[in-house]
Each structure stands twice: as C-alpha cells, then as structure tokens.
Amino acid sequence: MSPRDAAPDLAPPPVSPAPAPAEPRSAASSTTTTSVSAATTTVRGDGTTTASRFRARLRSWRWPAAALVATLLAGAVLVSLTTQTSTVRFAPDNPSDDGGMALAQVLGDRGVEVVHTTSVAEAIGASGPGSTLLVANDYGMAEDVARSLLETGAEVVLVAPGADLLAAATSQVTHAGTTSAGAATAQCTDPDAVAAAEITSYGSGFRLSEDSTSATLCFLQPTAAGPPVGHYAVAPLDGAADGQTVRALDDATALTNGSITETGNAALGLRMLGQTDRLVWLLPEQPPVGDEPPGLAGMLPPWAGAVGAQLLLLVLVTALWRGRRLGPLVTEDLPVVVQASEATRGRGRLYRRSRAYGHAGAALRARSADRMAQRLGVPRSAGADAVVDAVARASGRPAQQVGALLYGPPPSGDVELTRLATDLDQLESEVHRA
C-alpha cells in the first residue's frame, strides 16, 4: 500500500504560483491575482472621500434629524402657546378661585401693563413714578425691606399688609384686629369707595390712629362701641415727596377670581389698581420656615451637583469608548435545520389526536410480522396462516395465541395498545432467540 492511499489528497496538484504584478497604484483601487493554490487581492481605501462620506452620513441621518427638529419645534410652539399658570394665592397667573387672574386680565385689557414678580428687588427695579406698586400677602415683611420698597415713587396699594409694612407705609392707619366678616358699604368720601358702594371682605379691619389727620377709612364695620373699624383705608405715603398715596385693603379675598363679581368688589379693585398705565404686582415669596427638616438636596455638600455632572460626563465618555465596535458584525448564512424524523413524529401525533388505535396497532403488527417472517424465511408473498404457523413453531406458543396477537381485533385504548406493543416485542424476542 502506498502512502498516497492512506491519505488521499483533496487539494489540487501543486502548480507554481504566478508572481504578483508590480504595477503603479492609484487611490481606492483594487487588484486581484489568482493562482491555483492562493488568491491575492490588493485594496486601497474604500473609494470614498471626506465629502462623499459626509453626504452619505447626511443622507442616512436626514430623517432622524428632521424628526428631532420637528419635535423640538412642536415643543417650542406648544410651550409658547400654553400660558403658564400657577397655584399661588392671588397671583395674576392663577386661574383658580383664589387666584387673581381675572383682575389682572381685565386690567391688561384696559391698557394697564401688569408686571408680575415675586422678588422685592425686581419690584423695586420695575416700579417708579407713574406706576402702581401692589404688595399683597407679604407675610410679615421686614421693615427695612418695606421701606426701600416704598421709596420708589410709585403709588402704593397694600392688600392684606403685615403690621411692619403698614407701619412703614403710613403711621395714620393701624390694624384693628377684629373679626367681622360680610358685606360693608362705603360710608366715606373716597371716590373709589363711593364708586364701589359695597364690598365683601373677611379681613381684620383697619383703624385710624389717634394722630391721623388726612387718612380716610371706608367700608366700616358695624361695631357697637369704640373707634370705627374699616376694611379699606386711604392715606398719604409717609416721606413721599410727590404726594403719593397708600391704599390698603385688609384682605385679598374680595379681589380673587371667585369673589370679584360679587357686590362692588370689581369696581374697587379696578379703580384701586388701574390708576396708572403700569402695575407692578408683587407677591413676596414666603420666607422658609426655620425648623423645616432639610431635604436630600439640603444634606448634600455644595459641590455635589458639579461632581455629579462630571460623573455623568465620565459615564458618557466611557459609553462612547466601549460602545464603538471595531468594525461591523459579520453575519453567517445559516442552513435550514429540520430534523429528519420530524415527519414521523408528526404522523405519530396525528394518530394520537385522532385516537387511531386501529391504525397504530395494525402498523405495529405488520412490522412485527414482517420482521419475524424475514427471520424465519417465510416469503413476503405468503399468507397470514403460513406466518402464524412458522411463528408458532419457532416460539413454541399455540398457533391460536399467535394468530390472536398478530391478526386479532384492533386495540381500543391506550392500555390495550401499549400491551399489544409489549406483547409483540415479547413474541419477537422469543422467535429471535429460537
């Protein structure tokens, strides 16, 4: 035996490979040399230029980019179309019952420029001679803050002022501290109050101080004794050079959206705030309550935000580092996977579903008889009797029993079918042993 017999060679007989051509090369070119045993290809670049790659990138990104721009535009339009609202009491942008939006909008419609602010500094910057400064719900403003606020030269309207603010504005009016709610009539000479005639207020009322000379008190409470108590007071602003006045209303409820249409509330509100073309609507922010426990943000050190942002950047850079694959994935053309025995299993399942005990039993019997007949040399053309005789002789069983097993009535249930199968196995093993 030659060694070539033992290891036949599938590779073709060796042929000397052709030498690779040495030719001048241009950019993005490709040459292929094929010899019998090996193939050589040379490639230079991928035929693209910076401009073509840019165009291709633009083409592939154009729809996502367009979608992004469209989304941003739609968002911007939506934001600009929806007016910002708040839930702060008596705020000019609060449309609920306790808001002041109705009053602010009517004033705006009448040509008054309404400037809403929550910052005292901003309010000072925005107001000046020829404008009206509304300070509402000041929550006990400090006296120096109040004083600087009142020195702007604007007409001053105080709604539910704190004691310090009221004292800084005028010394002629003080808080009465009584609680009497309900409708009150003007009962004074102030033209605004006379125009309003009647208002509904739930405030604690004002009282004129003893050294009062030029202050007016309106909408008096029907008190039995003592000095009169009113819901509305008009007095000259203390220390004002140009004779500005202070108008004070003891409660904002009369001017809120829910109550503005009642009695003369609207008339008083519009006249009081609409004296000038410019209205600065100051709702000082509620100062934080001292003992409130600090939130999570309060417990973090001040540099936490910056470090967090830097860590976020780090995560982004790490993702870019790890996320860039070294070339695209390569796919494999996989062949179909069908198990050859699938058809037979399917047929078995069909038998089972249709409960074809007869068919199944017949198949098992026929296969068994065929195998035993072959073993015993009975020709395939022989009849049933010849097979039964031969099998009975070989196994030593009575012919009747063998006949019943091989050609008996079909099984009618799971148990009978299983018993038939095992009985046939038993018979076959006896025949094969013989």
Query: What is the identity of the amino acid at 159?
Result: V
Distance CA(379)–CA(91), nearest Å, equals 109
For β-strands 113-117 and 230-236, DSSP reports them as unpaired
How buried is 107 (Cβ within 10 angstroms: 0-12 exposed, 13-18 middle, 19+ buried)? buried
Q: Which residues pair with 200 in a beta bridge?
A: 183
* Residues 68-87 close enough to bind other proteins by CB under 8 A: none
The number of residues in the chain equals 434
Does 380 sit near other proteins (CB under 8 A)?
A: yes
Per rule CB under 8 A, is residue 58 in the interface with other proteins?
no
Interior/surface letters 359-372, b for 16+ CB within 10 angstroms, e for the rest: ebbeebbeebbeeb
Let me know: does 138 contact 129? Beta carbons within 8 Å.
Answer: no
Q: With CB under 8 A, what is the number of residues at the site for other proteins?
A: 84
Which of these ranges, 96-104, 112-120, 337-345, 397-405, lies near other proteins under the rule CB under 8 A? 337-345
For residues 288 and 328, which CB has a smaller minimum distance to other proteins in the complex? 328
Residue 10 as a binder of other proteins (CB under 8 A): the answer is yes
Interface with other proteins in residues 358-377 (CB under 8 A)? 359-361, 363-364, 366-368, 370
52/179 with CB nearer other proteins: 52
By CB under 8 A, what part of segment 27-46 binds other proteins?
Answer: 28, 30, 32, 34-46
Shorter beta-carbon distance to other proteins: residue 3 or 290: 3
Smallest separation, CB 378 to other proteins (Å): 15
Report the residue number, 213 or 422, with the smaller CB distance to other proteins: 422
Report the site for other proteins in 283-322 (rule: CB under 8 A): 302-303, 305-307, 309-311, 313-314, 317-318, 320-321
Alpha-carbon Rg for the chain in angstroms? 51
Question: Which residue is associated with the tokens 């108590």?
Answer: 229
Task: Check: CB of residue 350 under 8 Å from CB of residue 361.
Answer: no
Q: Residue 255 has what DSSP assignment? A: G
Measured between alpha carbons, how far is 231 from 188 in angstroms, rounded to an integer? Answer: 12
In angstroms, give the least distance from the CB of 18 to other proteins: 13
Region near other proteins per CB under 8 A, out of 75-83, 114-122, 125-133, 416-424: 416-424
Cβ 39 to other proteins, closest distance in Å?
Answer: 6
326 binds other proteins (CB under 8 A): yes
**Cα(216)–Cα(228) distance, rounded to whole angstroms?**
11
Q: Which stretch binds other proteins (CB under 8 A): 86-94, 133-141, 219-227, 414-422?
A: 414-422
